[in-house]
Amino acid sequence: MADDHVAYPCPYCGEASLEAAATLPYVRGYVLAFHFGSKKIVGCTKCVRLQLLKETGISSAIGWFSPTALVSNPFLLVYGLARTALVTRNPAAVRKQLSDAGIPEPQGELSLVRIGYSLAASMIAADSRIEPEEVATAAEIGVQIFKDFDKAEFNKVVANHQNLPEPAELATLLSGVLTDDGKDAVYGFLLAIASSDDDLAKEERELLDVVAENMKLRPAA
């Protein structure tokens, strides 16, 4: 059945096609502070289950260090394990995540600027704090790189960042979709955002390296 799977390879095993999507809530405690977050995962059924188990494992290892996290984490762990058992093929959910991220199905129409919004939003949200100045700077850079960049549209994508897969996963999906020039433009956008506050933090550098590697960026000339 043509509708049964989405014709992209799973970003984890690279073999099976995209079949399942899941959102996993987690909580991380830092002695007294804590934060709740959630992670979007798309892949083949087997890999999505595996990733959920891994994430649940991470939650159980580092989710305990504050009183609030101590109370909520057991519930999230149980949720994580139950959610893992419930992963089934769900092409509709996969399609929804791809379209939220601006990634068309093969043969669909690709909008480079939409992909720029998604990757930038997902990168800005990667450290779990969205700083308004960072978003404004990203928009200023965006209008210089993409002629059809729309700030209002970008702000909308940032506000809905929880619908986006992680930057590393997005980059893997994009490796087979974007042309070399498209990859250069999108990566240049991310690099400019990350460098805009003068110091390129170690985590930003690492994230950019993973994105470059996963999207199979050609080596810089």
Per CB under 5 A, residues contacting Zn ion are: 10, 12-13, 16, 43-44, 47
Structure-token pair, residue 40 = 């979007």
Please name which of 155, 214, 148, 160 lies closest in space to residue 187, comparing C-alpha atoms.
214
CB of 53 to Zn ion, least distance (A): 14
Nearer Cβ to Zn ion (13/143): 13
Please name which of 96, 82, 120 lies closest in space to residue 40, comparing C-alpha atoms.
96
CB of 82 to Zn ion, least distance (A): 21
Nearer Cβ to Zn ion (43/142): 43
Nearer Cβ to Zn ion (20/120): 20
Half-sphere exposure of 190 (CA within 13 A, CB side): 31
Nearer Cβ to Zn ion (51/73): 51
CB of 42 to Zn ion, least distance (A): 10
CB of 93 to Zn ion, least distance (A): 16
Q: Which amino acid is at 58?
A: I
Please name which of 67, 66, 59, 74 lies closest in space to residue 27, comparing C-alpha atoms.
59
Structure-token pair, residue 146 = 């993409």
